[in-house]
Amino acid sequence: MPSPFGWFSIVAIVVATLAGGVPPLRANAAQVDRYPLGEAFASGVFLALALAMMLPASFHLFERALPHVDEPIASLIAISALLALLGVSHLVRHLERDLHEDEAIAASPLVPLLMTVMIAIPSFFLGAALGVSETEQAVLILIAILLHKSSAAFALALKLTDSSLSVARVRIVFALFVLATPAGIFFGSLVGGRLGTEALLIARGSVLAMAAGTFLFMGTLNELQSAPLIKRCRHWRGFAAMLAGIGLTVCARLLIGEAHSLG
């Protein structure tokens, strides 16, 4: 079961997700850029968490579990996660373009459903990373999730309301997205409590490596040309916000000390 902080994180994430998604679900609001500097800041947090915390922690765990293996397992897992998410993102973009070329099927539910999967999968892994992390690192992961989850819920809700899905199905699909991160937290907590020492180290290292690849994707390539690192950080305020996210997270990492001993 999740720790007390895990339960607090679940409640906070659900509230943030509903706060971002419920207004467009109820009012079918026009899409606007609601959190430009917040998105840029989150990109910096994602990058620093992935490269300064999660990936080094994953390397450390694999070295402890498999001391005689020299291959960069953590890097390979992170790269695979990033490429898988990038591939799905390309698929969604191409399908969206093809569907919009035919006005008769422009409101097809296929794109919002795939978009839901696209956002829910990394949300699950981010929750899993929070679930296997110690409290200090988990706080930073929670902040990063909260910064992203509300705006992601807003964008997804707009896509769902513009589709041909019924109101009941829209609510079901959105509920699955809301529950993705809490499910990941439960999964991470379960991994931390059921496995033996070596298997636990490998499982935690794998989850953190997948989360590192996910964070790199969320910070750099998510939504491709609309990625905050490209769209927001070309302006000095956005770039400064991104640097603030990196600086804050790296400073926290240095204050915390060694990343994720998790022994």
Predicted confidence band at 35 (pLDDT cuts at 50, 70, 90)? Answer: low
**What is the total residue count of the chain?**
263
What rounded mean pLDDT belongs to the chain? 75
The tens digit of pLDDT for each residue in 114-152 reads 667 767 877 888 888 888 777 777 887 888 788 777 777
pLDDT of residue 15: 92
Please name the residue ranges forming H helices in the chain: 4-27, 36-48, 55-65, 73-100, 110-132, 135-161, 167-194, 197-220, 228-231, 236-256
Mean pLDDT along residues 158-175: 79
Once rounded to an integer, what is the mean pLDDT over residues 50-75?
Answer: 86
Stretch 65-73: mean pLDDT = 87
Whether the CB-CB separation of 17 and 149 falls below 8 Å is answered with: yes
Q: Which is more confidently placed, 232 or 52? A: 52
Express each pLDDT in 76-113 by its tens digit: 999 998 888 778 777 766 666 665 555 544 455 666 67
The pLDDT tens digits of the residues spanning 185-239 come to 988 887 766 666 677 778 778 888 888 887 788 777 765 555 555 555 566 777 7
Calpha distance 20→51 (Å, rounded) = 28
Torsion of CA 152, 154, 157, 158, to 10 degrees: -110
- As a whole number of angstroms, the distance between CA 214 and CA 123 comes to 9
Rounded to two decimals, the pTM is 0.65
Q: What is the pLDDT of residue 106?
A: 47
Q: Distance (Å, rounded) from C-alpha 118 to C-alpha 132? A: 22
pLDDT for 31 equals 45
Q: Which of 187, 194, 231 is nearest to 35 (CA)?
A: 231
Contacts of 236 (CB under 8 A, 6+ apart): none
The predicted pLDDT at position 157 comes to 80
> What is the arithmetic mean of pLDDT over 179-187?
90
125, 50 Cβ separation under 8 angstroms: no
Find the mean pLDDT for residues 9-28.
83
If you average pLDDT over each of 2-6, 13-17, 206-210, 231-235, which comes out highest? 13-17
Residue 183: predicted pLDDT? 92
C-alpha 6: how far from chain center: 16
- The answer, yes or no, to whether residue 263 has pLDDT greater than 50, is no
Q: How far is CA 147 from CA 12, 56, 190, in A?
A: 11, 23, 25
For residue 170, pLDDT beyond 60: yes
